[in-house]
């Protein structure tokens, strides 16, 4: 049998098979890539957390698991980018196939751009099945399952929902120290699902297969919905803010957005597919800017030693993990946008005494965040340049920062931030999917 990487790409097809769900909370996602005499099989496993009185698997869970299979399959699709995805064995209907096509177009944009494979965004998604229907039952909106990643956003959501009187339980896919620390400070239960990728994926990557960014938030969102159905939660709450909908650049006539599956477009797409499922999937911080969230987070001092936004905290190799590396775009973004709202000593303590703005080797990287640097907006979960510019304006008026050399640097000193731009940074956007109860709670964040 020929090796998968030796077969011409145009001969290959990805086949997602029917997922297996058990009442014990185990989910098995199966895929194969075949063609040209080759056939490579993958099995991904999801283990849902144990919960009291778990609900048995029903139509709602089967619908969510089918969507999960379609989205999770992109981790394997990207290895060789077959020109077709055949959903016949999965049984996906027309709306589900269009759902997959939308996730591919938006969620693999960065992958396609970095690997220069524009055809990756336009596979033939074929099949002849029927869309699954949910139960149509009403969700229990008093119980909220809140996704937590150990960062500032979920912390603001946790405290806002708790203040609004909701019954909050935390959720993560796999877990890391910042996540468990956040749960401990919050004093709330944490339900953790375990996702195990097929080990053959790493082997393919090491052999030279294509690799890159996939819409992991879409995967985690669907796993959260499975947990909610199993445990009886009516709300699944993420903490994606409005700036996550803003793209990084335009390529091949498409907007490429590192955060696409955190954006409003994906939120609406998934809500549409879950319309008959008793789960209200929503992003609580959608109407708010990163800067407004930072301002509120600054008041939650109990979490300041627990949180991190640095991806190095989540490295697969525990020996390579660190709380704040101090040299990545997320470290820089948080430093710049949190600085206006904290005493300088408190901010430096979070970063182990380091003043990132004083590091001239990082100057161009800060300028990229401001939109005045040599590159486009970083491919990272950072806010819009206009927000970063407002942060600079706030630092100019801050007694502890106004004389900092960074503010006099080329690309920074000449920035003009109109009052209307600053006001817009703290506006409440009408573009969201919040219920009246959640909207009121979100407005209280401001």
User: Mind listing the pLDDT tens digit for each residue in 280-304?
Assistant: 999 999 999 999 999 999 999 999 9
Do 200 and 245 have their domain in common? yes
- Residue 433, in any domain of the structure: no
Residue 317 pLDDT more than 70?
A: no
Residue 1 pLDDT more than 70?
A: no
- Could you give the CA distance from residue 308 to residue 39 in angstroms, rounded to a whole number? 42
- Residue 435, in any domain of the structure: no
pTM over 0.85? The answer is: yes
SS3 85: strand
- Residue 308, in any domain of the structure: yes
SS3 381: coil
Do 225 and 372 have their domain in common? no
User: Mind listing the pLDDT tens digit for each residue in 181-195?
Assistant: 999 999 999 999 999
Average pLDDT over residues 202-217: 95
- Residue 83, in any domain of the structure: yes
DSSP 420: H
Which token pair is 48? 């849902």
Average pLDDT over residues 83-95: 97
Average pLDDT over residues 406-421: 96
- Residue 437, in any domain of the structure: no
Average pLDDT over residues 65-73: 98
Residue 11 pLDDT more than 90?
A: yes
Task: Please tell me the predicted confidence (pLDDT) of residue 322.
Answer: 73
Do 242 and 308 have their domain in common? no
Q: In which band, very low, low, confident or very high, does the pLDDT at 264 lie, cut at 50, 70 and 90?
A: very high
Do 160 and 178 have their domain in common? yes
Do 82 and 229 have their domain in common? yes
Which token pair is 306? 């627990």
- How wide is the angle at C-alpha 47 spanned by C-alphas 70 and 65, nearest 5°? 25
Q: In which band, very low, low, confident or very high, does the pLDDT at 374 lie, cut at 50, 70 and 90?
A: confident
Q: In which band, very low, low, confident or very high, does the pLDDT at 118 lie, cut at 50, 70 and 90?
A: very high
Strand residues in 204-300 grouped as ranges (E): 235-238, 249-251, 254-256, 280-283
Do 146 and 81 have their domain in common? yes
For the chain, how far is it from start to end, CA to CA, in angstroms? 61
Task: Please tell me the predicted confidence (pLDDT) of residue 2.
Answer: 73
- Residue 439, in any domain of the structure: no
- Could you give the CA distance from residue 274 to residue 363 in angstroms, rounded to a whole number? 45
Domain boundary among 260, 283, 306: 283
Per residue, the 3-state secondary structure of 294-355, as one string, reads HHHHCCCHHHCCCCCCCHHHHCCCHHHCCCCCCCCHHHHHHHHHHHHHCCHHHHHHHCCCCC
Residue 314 pLDDT more than 70?
A: no
Contacts of 214 (CB under 8 A, 6+ apart): 74, 75, 78, 107, 108, 111
Which token pair is 387? 């927000």
What is the tally of structural domains in the chain?
A: 2
SS3 27: strand
Do 297 and 239 have their domain in common? no
- Residue 145, in any domain of the structure: yes
Other Cβ atoms less than 10 A from the Cβ of 129: the count is 16
Q: In which band, very low, low, confident or very high, does the pLDDT at 375 lie, cut at 50, 70 and 90?
A: confident
Do 350 and 412 have their domain in common? yes
What does the DSSP assignment read for 110-137?
Answer: HHHHHHT-GGGG--EEE----------P
Average pLDDT over residues 141-151: 94
- Residue 93, in any domain of the structure: yes
Closest among 181, 192, 197, 104 to 147, alpha carbons compared = 192
Residue 446 pLDDT more than 70?
A: yes
- Could you give the CA distance from residue 434 to residue 323 in angstroms, rounded to a whole number? 33
Q: List beta partners, residue 172.
A: 192
Task: Please tell me the predicted confidence (pLDDT) of residue 376.
Answer: 86
Do 270 and 392 have their domain in common? no
User: Mind listing the pLDDT tens digit for each residue in 224-239?
Assistant: 999 999 999 999 999 9
Report the DSSP pairing between strands 124-126 and 254-256.
unpaired
Average pLDDT over residues 403-426: 96
Domain boundary among 240, 258, 283: 283
Q: What is the mean pLDDT of the chain?
A: 95
Domain boundary among 256, 283, 310: 283
Residue whose pair of structure tokens reads 């503010």 in the numeric block: 407
Do 295 and 378 have their domain in common? yes
Do 152 and 268 have their domain in common? yes
Do 192 and 319 have their domain in common? no
Structural domain that includes position 82:
4-129+138-283
Which CA distances in Å does 256 have to 79, 108, 216, 260, 425? 20, 9, 16, 8, 23
Answer yes or no: are the C-beta atoms of 158 and 14 closer than 8 Å: no
Q: In which band, very low, low, confident or very high, does the pLDDT at 179 lie, cut at 50, 70 and 90?
A: very high
């Amino acid at each position: 049998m020929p090796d998968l990487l030796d077969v011409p790409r145009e001969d290959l097809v990805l086949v997602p098979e029917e997922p297996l769900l058990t009442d014990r909370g185990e989910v098995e996602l199966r895929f194969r890539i075949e063609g040209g005499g080759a056939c490579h099989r993958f099995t991904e496993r999801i283990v849902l957390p144990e919960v009291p009185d778990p609900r048995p698997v029903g139509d709602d869970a089967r619908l969510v698991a089918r969507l999960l299979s379609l989205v999770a399959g992109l981790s394997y699709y990207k290895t060789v980018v077959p020109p077709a995805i055949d959903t016949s064995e999965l049984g996906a209907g027309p709306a589900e196939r269009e759902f997959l096509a939308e996730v591919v177009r938006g969620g693999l944009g960065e992958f396609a751009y970095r690997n220069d494979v524009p055809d990756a965004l336009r596979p033939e998604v074929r099949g002849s099945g029927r869309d699954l229907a949910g139960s149509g039952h009403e969700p229990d909106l008093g119980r909220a399952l809140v996704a937590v990643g150990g960062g500032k956003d979920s912390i603001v959501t946790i405290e806002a929902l708790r203040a609004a009187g909701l019954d909050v339980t935390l959720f993560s896919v796999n877990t890391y120290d910042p996540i468990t620390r956040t749960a401990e400070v919050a004093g709330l239960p944490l339900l953790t699902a375990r996702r195990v990728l097929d080990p053959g994926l790493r082997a393919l990557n090491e052999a030279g297969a294509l690799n890159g960014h996939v819409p992991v938030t879409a995967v985690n969102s669907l796993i959260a919905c499975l947990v909610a159905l199993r445990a009886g939660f009516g709300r699944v709450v993420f903490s994606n803010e409005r700036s996550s909908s803003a793209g990084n650049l335009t390529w091949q006539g498409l907007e490429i957005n590192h955060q696409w599956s955190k954006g409003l477009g994906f939120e609406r797409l998934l809500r549409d597919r879950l319309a008959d499922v008793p789960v209200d999937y929503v992003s609580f911080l959608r109407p708010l800017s990163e800067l407004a969230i930072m301002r509120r987070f600054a008041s939650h001092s109990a979490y300041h030693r627990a949180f991190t936004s640095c991806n190095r905290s989540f490295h697969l190799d525990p020996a390579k993990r660190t709380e704040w590396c101090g040299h990545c775009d997320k470290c820089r973004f948080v430093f710049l946008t949190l600085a206006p709202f904290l005493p300088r000593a408190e901010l430096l303590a979070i970063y182990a005494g380091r003043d990132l703005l004083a590091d001239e080797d990082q100057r161009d990287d800060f300028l990229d965040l401001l939109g005045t640097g040599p590159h486009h907006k970083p491919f990272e979960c950072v806010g819009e340049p206009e927000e970063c510019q407002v942060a600079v304006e706030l630092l100019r008026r801050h007694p502890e920062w106004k004389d900092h050399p960074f503010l006099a640097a080329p690309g920074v000193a000449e920035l003009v931030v109109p009052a209307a731009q600053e006001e817009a940074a703290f506006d409440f956007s009408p573009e969201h999917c919040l219920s009246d109860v959640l909207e009121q709670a979100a407005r209280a964040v401001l």
